Amino acid sequence: MIDYKGHFDAAIEALHAEKRYRVFADLERIAGRFPAAIWRHEGGAREITVWCSNDYLGMGQHEDVVTAMQSTISTMGSGAGGTRNISGNTHPLVELERELADLHGKEAALVFTSGFVSNEASISTIAKLLPDCLILSDELNHASMIEGVRKAGCKKQVFRHNDVAHLEELLRAAEKGRPKLIVFESVYSMDGDIAPIEAIVELAERYNAMTYIDEVHAVGMYGPRGGGISERDGIAHRIDVIEGTLAKAFGVLGGYITGSKAVIDSVRSYAPGFIFTTALPPALAAAATASIRHLKTSSAERDGQQRQAARAKAVFAAANLPVMPSATHIVPLHVGDPDLCKRASDRLLETHGIYIQPINYPTVPRGTERLRVTPTPLHDDALIDTLRDALVETWNALGIPFASERPAPAERTARITPLVVSQAGG
């Protein structure tokens, strides 16, 4: 007899043994009062402050976005009614795709039900349509990109994170006439570092490779219109496919790719992950369009986010907290142990009413476990000071090493080098 239950129990037990079993807090966001939320637990419910949201600009509660969603539901109802193959394009989706193509200066865009699906479906389909394609993938790419690469079924080579010299080595070694696809991100969300995009694009041009960039943690937040790092650096037109999400800074749900008409039409026509699933509801599409439009003309949210992130980094560093180097709005605090990381998160919630999810392996390498803080324009100076005090209390109570008590992690140095080189070169 097969002990089915035993296998599942053992799988969960293994996670407990490694101290990486995940528990999700029961939270209820309060419209209009971001970043406040209600936390429900066995003893009751209390109001807390969320400090790790990917609703990076608070757009999930922006009046234009909420109004667009409500008014579209009242005129068009809730669901899309089927796949786009069956039900056609709802008009809000047509408008959303136009808005996205314009945002990135591309000919066309295609919306998926999530950023995860957009990466998995697009990378695999693009690579499959190229004969004997070689995929070159950054070692720290997101799980959704790794799934896309895996599903493509072609040969892949992984280059060291942000290491342009290593990428060039691999490109040089590849057969000249072979189609190549370079897949990478702009902002890496766990360290908050930025890819040397221009150097990668130059290599792609020199070695005749296609480029696919995930701008999930940058769209809405960088560039004069929120077109991401590629817009900020003026190189969007030199990248073949720009992928993004509607679920983080835009505050709604869904994912997308933008690129040439030929590529977008091919993915639309060949990707099972696009074809055989029900389209995004019209209200979500309308809300996303409202969010993108707002952020195209308003920089107040972007400026506020950068200001508060810089302030949080400075305030934490002054308190001797181990702030990891970050070039972006992401503020990681090094803990370096999965059990301590989980206990720090629990203590912050239970003692201080502050919610910060622990980040453990496999999301980050073992030994680099961390708390990942994401200040938004709505986390004001007083909230930052309150968080600092709570962190210092937690660090003391649990005996987590402060910045002056720990050596700088060696792997950081290796990762920072290519960034410095690219900045010096461009």
Q: State both tokens at 62.
A: 């922006």
Residue 191 engages ligand PLP in binding (rule: CB under 6 A): no
With respect to ligand PLP, which residue has the nearer C-beta, 56 or 395?
56
The answer to whether the CB of 188 falls within 8 A of the CB of 140 is: yes
Q: Is 141 helix (H, G, I), strand (E, B) or coil?
A: coil
What pairing do the DSSP bridges indicate for beta strands 26-29 and 36-41?
A: antiparallel
Residue 328 engages ligand PLP in binding (rule: CB under 6 A): no
Cα 279 to Cα 85: distance, rounded to the nearest angstrom: 9
> Segment contacting ligand PLP (CB under 6 A): 18-26, 41-49, 209-217, 416-424?
209-217
Of 49, 90, 144, 345, the one binding ligand PLP (CB under 6 A) is: 144
Residue 418 engages ligand PLP in binding (rule: CB under 6 A): no
Quote the distance between the C-alpha of residue 373 and its chain's center.
14
Question: If you search the block for the tokens 């969007």, which residue do you land on?
Answer: 236
Task: From the candidates 248, 296, 313, 342, give the one annotated as an active-site residue.
Answer: 248
Give catalytic status of residue 156 as yes or no. no
Site size toward ligand PLP, by CB under 6 A: 14
**What's the closest the beta carbon of residue 291 comes to ligand PLP, in angstroms?**
14
Q: State both tokens at 144.
A: 């959704």
Site string for ligand PLP, 255-294 (x = CB under 6 A): x---------------------------------------
With respect to ligand PLP, which residue has the nearer C-beta, 196 or 255?
255
Cα 396 to Cα 78: distance, rounded to the nearest angstrom: 50
> Segment contacting ligand PLP (CB under 6 A): 4-12, 57-65, 169-177, 211-219?
211-219
The answer to whether the CB of 231 falls within 8 A of the CB of 213 is: no
Compute the Cα dihedral for 292, 293, 294, 295 and give only its sign.
positive
Of 20, 62, 142, 352, the one binding ligand PLP (CB under 6 A) is: 142
Residue 138 engages ligand PLP in binding (rule: CB under 6 A): no
**What's the closest the beta carbon of residue 382 comes to ligand PLP, in angstroms?**
29
Compute the Cα dihedral for 278, 282, 287, 293 and give only its sign.
positive
Of 49, 53, 72, 114, the one binding ligand PLP (CB under 6 A) is: 114
Residue 120 engages ligand PLP in binding (rule: CB under 6 A): no
The answer to whether the CB of 279 falls within 8 A of the CB of 93 is: yes
Residue type, 218: A
Residue 215 engages ligand PLP in binding (rule: CB under 6 A): no
CA distances from 13 to 16, 32, 261, 262 (A): 5, 41, 49, 49
Cα 68 to Cα 84: distance, rounded to the nearest angstrom: 22
Residue 147 engages ligand PLP in binding (rule: CB under 6 A): no
With respect to ligand PLP, which residue has the nearer C-beta, 54 or 306?
54
Of 247, 252, 323, 340, the one binding ligand PLP (CB under 6 A) is: 247
Residue type, 183: V
**What's the closest the beta carbon of residue 215 comes to ligand PLP, in angstroms?**
9
Residue 216 engages ligand PLP in binding (rule: CB under 6 A): yes
Of 214, 231, 301, 369, the one binding ligand PLP (CB under 6 A) is: 214
Length of the chain: 426
Q: Is 408 helix (H, G, I), strand (E, B) or coil?
A: coil
Residue 116 engages ligand PLP in binding (rule: CB under 6 A): yes
The answer to whether the CB of 166 falls within 8 A of the CB of 214 is: no
**Please, what is the angle between helix 381-398 and helix 338-352, to 10°?**
130
With respect to ligand PLP, which residue has the nearer C-beta, 119 or 328?
119
With respect to ligand PLP, which residue has the nearer C-beta, 249 or 321?
249
Of 53, 124, 189, 328, the one binding ligand PLP (CB under 6 A) is: 189
Residue 363 engages ligand PLP in binding (rule: CB under 6 A): no
- Residue ranges of alpha helices (H) inside 135-281 are 143-152, 164-173, 197-206, 229-232, 261-270, 272-275
Please report, as ranges, the residues that interact with ligand PLP according to CB under 6 A. Answer: 114-116, 119, 142, 144, 185, 189, 214, 216-217, 245, 247, 255
Active site residues: 248
